[in-house]
Amino acid sequence: MKIKRQYIYAVLFISVVIPLATGLTFKVRPGPPVKKFYSAVNGLNEGDYAAVTLSYDPSTKAELNPMVIALCGHLFSRDVKIIMMNPLNNSIGNLGYELITRAASLYGKKENDDYYFLGYVPGEKSALQNMGEDFYSVYSKTFMKAELKDLPLYRDIKTIADAKMLIDISDGNSTVDLLTYVNTKYGVPMAAGTTAIMAGEYYTYLNSGQLLGMLGGLRGAAEYETMLGVNGKGRRGMAAQTFAHILVLLLVLAGNIEYFSGRRK
Amino acid sequence: MILDLITLALIICIFSFLFKDNPFFKFTERLLVGVSAGYGFLIIIRDGFLAKFVDPLRTGDLSVIIPGLLGLMFVFTLFRRTAFLAKYPLAFLLGTGAGMEIGPRIETSIIKQISAMGSHVSGPVEIINRTVLFISALSSLYYFLFAVRKNTKFDRFFAGTGIVFMMIAFGATFGYTVMSRISLLIDIIDSVVLRFF
């Protein structure tokens, strides 16, 4: 039997729309990687600096934006100062700035005092390397072109090693680059949030202790939101995610039954 | 509101490909490529060429001249007769890249991973996990040692074990990929489609 692919897409669409339209939610139980991530961020104290690197394209914002929003809220609620930047991806600047500005307004935080958005700088790996020698040889201005030497950051941070933690939110291999050039070389503790596709690869770094914690895909974001007690996009999407997964499972099962019964004939 | 409507229209154009290839999909696809290329070009000009080359020159910093000229030499690739000149900056890039990369990368992805196998063991479950991890790494690597394998019973069994572990890994990756793609659909439906209907 052959099912037209258009029917499969239509059923998939319905299976996602119904839970979202009805506001159906499921209980999400946080797993060990997310618990570790939460504990690592919770270990930061008031006034500490956390560097957050955004290394993803807008095409993966569905999975990663909920993480960034939850993370900013978590850091701001603990009065941790954020240095947000995107040195390994030049397309996320405006979106990243919008996200942190929105989160800051909810917690009454001031730009260029409680948080800094530095944007993109060319150089990629050599830029990361130089951040460990002299941070301001890489970044001299913020994303909105404020001179860094006039800001409190200049007094507190000389190199990236002065940050208490580095968190990379990525959709590619950037976490390994940051582990190589920042964690291994300058000893900055690291955690990561990543798309579901990349999560499998990063488990090795989590198990070895090189990553303190990890958020994997929309589920990771939903688990993190659960730990923070926030009802964000991650948690809202989990019911739709579950329905769609059940559908895919059924289709895989049906495909296999069809294949094996065909072989027997 | 107008921006939301444009977003919705473009999403419908892209999704129309699920029915069959059509001019609306082609137009949107080209629009995406063009906008992405234009945005990337502007960012490189603003944050790269102007911020890292022109601005320092204006303030009298002459140290950027040599790296700047090396960068500009890439333009020679556009002309067949002078294309060889672009190999010089490329040589610098490859040399510095390899020098920077080899040591730290080996330490991060090999030495730290191997040393982690023996450390932090905190109970019988952890010991079992590490043993499975060790056997899976070894058997998967063994599967690819085509020149060493002699097709004995042990070879077939151990390489077969590697295949089983790899299949489990591929299955997990497939599951994660499904989750990733469904997340994109959820975001589109949640933030765009449901706003209008």
Write the CATH number for A57.
3.40.50
B107 and A125 in contact by Cβ < 8 A? no
Torsions phi, psi for A59 (to 5 deg): -65, -20
Q: Can you list the pairs that B109-112 forms with residues at least 24 positions away whose Cβ atoms lie under 8 Å?
A: B109/A176, B109/A180, B112/A184, B112/A208, B112/A210
B183 and A217 in contact by Cβ < 8 A? yes
State pLDDT tens for residues B107-163: 998 898 888 877 767 788 888 888 898 899 999 998 888 777 777 888 889 989 999
Q: Half-sphere exposure of residue A239, counting CA atoms within 13 Å on the CB side?
A: 16
A244 and B185 in contact by Cβ < 8 A? yes
Nearest to A196 among B40, B44, B179 (CB): B179
Looking at the structure, do residues A135 and A57 belong to the same domain, yes or no? yes
Q: Does A232 touch chain B (CB under 8 A)?
A: no
Question: Which A residues in the span 80-109 are in contact with B, Cβ-Cβ below 8 Å?
Answer: 90-91, 93
Q: According to DSSP H, which parts of chain B are helical?
A: 2-15, 23-43, 55-58, 65-72, 87-106, 112-118, 124-143, 153-188, 194-196
B183 and A62 in contact by Cβ < 8 A? yes
**Amino acid at the residue B127:** I
Q: Does A1 touch chain B (CB under 8 A)?
A: no
Q: How many domains does chain A have?
A: 2
A241 and B39 in contact by Cβ < 8 A? no
What is the pTM (predicted TM-score) of this model? 0.87
d(Cα A222, Cα A233) in Å, to the nearest integer? 8
Looking at the structure, do residues A226 and A259 belong to the same domain, yes or no? no
Looking at the structure, do residues A146 and A164 belong to the same domain, yes or no? yes
| Range(s) of the domain holding residue A15 | 1-25+236-265
Q: Does B44 touch chain A (CB under 8 A)?
A: yes
What confidence category does residue A126 fall into, taking pLDDT thresholds of 50, 70 and 90? confident
State pLDDT tens for residues A32-47: 999 999 999 999 999 9
From residue A32, how far is each of A47, A167, A214, B120 by CA, in Å?
A: 27, 17, 9, 16
Looking at the structure, do residues A59 and A128 belong to the same domain, yes or no? yes
Q: Domain spans of chain B?
A: 1-60, 123-197
d(Cα A230, Cα A153) in Å, to the nearest integer? 30
Distance from CA of B190 to the nearest CA of A (A): 7
Looking at the structure, do residues A169 and A265 belong to the same domain, yes or no? no
Q: Does B29 touch chain A (CB under 8 A)?
A: no
A189 touches A212 (CB < 8 A): yes
Q: Does B177 touch chain A (CB under 8 A)?
A: yes
ipTM at complex level:
0.82
Percentage of chain A lying above the pLDDT 70 cut: 99
d(Cα B171, Cα B188) in Å, to the nearest integer? 26
